[in-house]
Chain A
């Protein structure tokens, strides 16, 4: 049997390509959903920390933010996933649990990224906003944060790549993502090489594609960047 015949048998004739496609779809959905949640949580945490730092009355906020970041970063994401699936959100579908878990996990890392972006914006920007009569929150929203996001777009891209690969453990909680799909095909067909190589190749292509896309995006940003 030639390699092509083998491929045909493993993926097409058995209808396993549908499984792989479905897994691919789930991987993309989980990655994008988690990225969105991660960016939102990360921004909220970073801004909350910015406002609470050095303000005695907001000590609790600071402590909660630090606690969140410490705990989430200290627990392996698989363990977190199992905890959410079997304890916190019992009865929920696997995909939403995965989105939420990876989002919450990513948020902790994103918080540090956003914070560094905010800190990189010149202090005079906040002062200029405040001197015009804006509240701290208004100046953050309209002046500091948009500049911070621009600073950290490359870092967010990296986080997205890491996240994409991290979702490969979603199979632990009955989600059929790309990895799980490949592994199921291996199990069903007793053909280990082709499904696993295909899965690896798809991740590789996705990551390389994303990296390329980021490069183009960064270059575009740099070109249209009107800053010094």
Chain B
């Protein structure tokens, strides 16, 4: 976790305006989700601090993605509570759209807008939601694009990019809204192996800059190296959690041991 007094590392992409560093950014309590009666999440409790980089691992079907998608209400929870920056998201009166602006999301399938150029992809939401003027948004987008090494692709269309480039653009698209937390849903799973590295590098840099991140991933190396907390989900519950050293070096539960033996 980032030190409360040391914010010097934060780039302008990260909102480091005055806020209470002791407050939990996201508090999830008793989160439940069913799909057609089948329980997928059965009571998840997680607290996320500002600056946390949390990796969520687990076998497929364990509810990792569902958990992540519940955080910004792309999936509607069936039970439990999600408090984000002090507001209860599951409350019907809460303006989810406003909170989603503060929660960037990166998808496995990139989901770039194919009918827009890279630059339009980046500026579309901030301009539409009146977060920035067109000029400000474009300037910001170009700065961030340059940081991921894609400034020369601003006028390209998504299908002219490689998978790794698409995902880097998708990350920048989320960053353009200046989110307080970034949610990654298996961001490298749809990539050709040789492109995984370039995306992980961007994510690593982002983590080092102090961005709060929740990453659903199968990249154990990334989890071990970059995260400060690893959550092992199995059959809809948190089967084990801890620092990477604890989870990877000294797994307690049999389920985690058998999972790690298969993926490491």
Contacts and interface: CB of A to CB of B under 8 A. Distances in A.
Contacts of B174: 131-132
Interface of A: 122, 124-125, 127-135, 138, 142-143, 146-147, 150, 226-228
B107 interface: yes
B180 to A, nearest CB: 12
B113 A125 contact: yes
A228 B159 CA distance: 6
A132 B158 contact: no
A128 B158 CA distance: 14
B125 A132 contact: yes
Given A132-B105, A133-B177, 6 more contacts: A124-B107, A128-B113, A130-B100, A134-B125, A150-B115, A227-B158
B130 to A, nearest CB: 11
B29 interface: no
Interface string B86-124: 000000000001111111110101011111000000001
A131 B114 contact: no
A127 B74 contact: yes
B129 interface: yes
A131 B159 contact: no
Nearest to B125: A132
8 contacts: A131-B72, A131-B183, A132-B173, A132-B174, A133-B97, A135-B97, A142-B128, A227-B115
A124 to B, nearest CB: 4
A147 B101 CA distance: 23
A190 B36 CA distance: 71
Nearest to A129: B125
A146 B115 contact: yes
Q: How large is the interface on B (under 10, 10 to 19, 20 to 34, 35 or more residues)?
A: 20 to 34
Nearest to B108: A124
A131 B103 contact: yes
A119 B91 CA distance: 29
Contacts of A146: 115
B160 interface: yes
Given A142-B124, A226-B158, A228-B159, A134 B114 contact: no
Interface of B: 72, 74, 97-105, 107, 109, 111-115, 124-125, 128-129, 157-160, 173-174, 177, 183
Contacts of A128: 105, 107, 111-113
Closest 6 CB pairs of A and B: A226-B157, A133-B101, A128-B111, A132-B125, A131-B105, A124-B111
Contacts of B109: 122, 124
Nearest to A132: B125
B222 to A, nearest CB: 22
B159 A132 contact: no
A122 B111 CA distance: 9
Nearest to A147: B115
A125 B111 CA distance: 6
A227 B129 CA distance: 26
Given A130-B74, A131-B74, A228 B100 contact: no
Contacts of A138: 128-129
Nearest to B124: A142
A65 to B, nearest CB: 24
Given A132-B174, A132-B177, A127 B159 contact: no
B113 A133 contact: no
The residue in B72, B114, B129 that gathers the most chain A C-beta atoms within 10 A of its C-beta is B114
A143 B114 CA distance: 9
